[in-house]
Amino acid sequence: MRALAGRAPHRRGARIGALLAASLLLAGCQSAAEPDAAPTEAAARPSADAAASAVSFAPLRGTPAEAAALAHPSLAVKIDNHEEARPQIALNRTDIVFEELVEGGLTRYVAVWHSDVPDEVGPVRSIRPMDPDIASPFGGIIAYSGGQDQFVAMMMATPLVNIVFDFDETGLFTRADERPGPHDVILDSAEAVARNAALAPPPGQFSYGTADPLAAPALAAAPTSRIDLVFSEDRFPAWEWDGGTSAWLRSQEGEPDLEASGERVRAVNVVTLRVGIDWSYGEVPKTVMIGSGEAWVSAGGRTAHGTWAKDAAGSPIVLTADDGSPLRLAPGNTWVELVPNEGSATFTP
């Protein structure tokens, strides 16, 4: 365990800088096909010219980038999604975001930044029991505001550097005067990464293809204009395909979802996983991340069906198409929607 701890944070104002012929609904459980191999790491794409070795591929986006600019750890942060926490800061600069069910039927995010680390992110909230299984494959840093002692202990037991609001004595966290508490905790994300720059960059998590990675007929991907997801009665996000920007645009509870910059929250890829919920912790649901289940990958205005599998806390999620081939993503940012078995997902042509 590595942790950063100490004095109470100070307060200041923060800078607030985005079915196919019939609907496909999540129904019964489907067991995952055994994956043939580990995910392809985008950063491992070779270059024919040794002189071009300074150009690499972002491991969490699959996009070209200067190798030197990637030589730092990723930063995972627990981000609030209460109505009073919106708009969140810099979601469109993330590499990967996981949306998870929490108590009261609400959702929160585990947002991961690596290829584009902003100055500030937030609002930051507390840890939940599934977060160690979500964040561990990335290595690097995890930041959160606190949580039940048992959940904090679970996260502290991972190899990640823990940066915790409750223990911070170095000013990495502040409170935004213009936001209501407790939805006001902001992290100096750039400084958090700079202080831990010697940590290794994250390994690749998903396999990447072309901008239209689901075009192969064997994948049987269906044109998709809209994705409707139901986590609970209170949380039902949606994504609409925008061909003009080649991105999915997000809504929450029927309203456009905007980040603090004023931009609509967007994603190049939307990965929808059907997951079980463990209620061992009372009113706090734990998304079951170790195992397998049904999956959909939506990219390039199409959706392909398959399975997901994850065999250990520190292992990445492996996505496999129904034909047994890897389900590849388009280069760019990704949202992973961890939809409970009791919820639903509808993909509209």
Q: Domain range holding 106?
A: 2-16+67-194
For the stretch 154-190, pLDDT in tens is 999 999 999 999 999 899 999 999 999 999 999 999 9
* Tokens coding 19: 């079915």
For the stretch 302-344, pLDDT in tens is 999 999 999 999 999 999 999 999 999 999 999 999 999 999 9
The total number of structural domains that make up the chain: 1
Whether 113 is covered by a domain: the verdict is yes
- SS3 call for 150: helix
Q: What percent of the chain has pLDDT over 70?
A: 85
Whether 185 is covered by a domain: the verdict is yes
From the list 79, 199, 205, the residue with the least C-alpha distance to 137 is: 205
**Integer Cα distance of 346 and 238 in angstroms:** 9
Cβ atoms within 10 Å of 63's Cβ, excluding its own: 17
Beta-ladder partners of 247:
242
Higher pLDDT, 101 or 16: 101
- SS3 call for 219: helix
Residue 230: C-alpha distances to residues 47, 180, 305, 342, 347 (Å): 43, 27, 18, 9, 12
Whether 297 is covered by a domain: the verdict is no
pLDDT over threshold 80, residue 29: no
Question: Which residues does 49 contact at the CB level (< 8 Å), separation at least 6?
Answer: none
Question: Which pLDDT value is given to residue 243?
Answer: 97
Whether 133 is covered by a domain: the verdict is yes
Give the confidence band of 33 by pLDDT, cuts at 50, 70, 90.
Answer: very low
For the stretch 239-280, pLDDT in tens is 999 999 999 999 999 999 999 999 999 999 999 999 999 999
CATH number at residue 148: 3.50.90.10
DSSP state of 193: H
Where do we find the tokens 């502290």? 156
* pTM recorded for the entire structure: 0.86
Whether 248 is covered by a domain: the verdict is no
Torsion of CA 322, 224, 316, 190, to 10 degrees: 170
Residue pair 308/273 in contact (Cβ under 8 Å)? The answer is yes
Residue 4: C-alpha distances to residues 123, 175, 318 (Å): 19, 18, 32
Give the confidence band of 191 by pLDDT, cuts at 50, 70, 90.
Answer: very high
Whether 315 is covered by a domain: the verdict is no
Whether 171 is covered by a domain: the verdict is yes
Whether 52 is covered by a domain: the verdict is no
CA 73 from chain center: how many Å? 16
Mean pLDDT of 81-89: 98
Question: Which pLDDT value is given to residue 207?
Answer: 97
Beta-ladder partners of 269:
299, 334
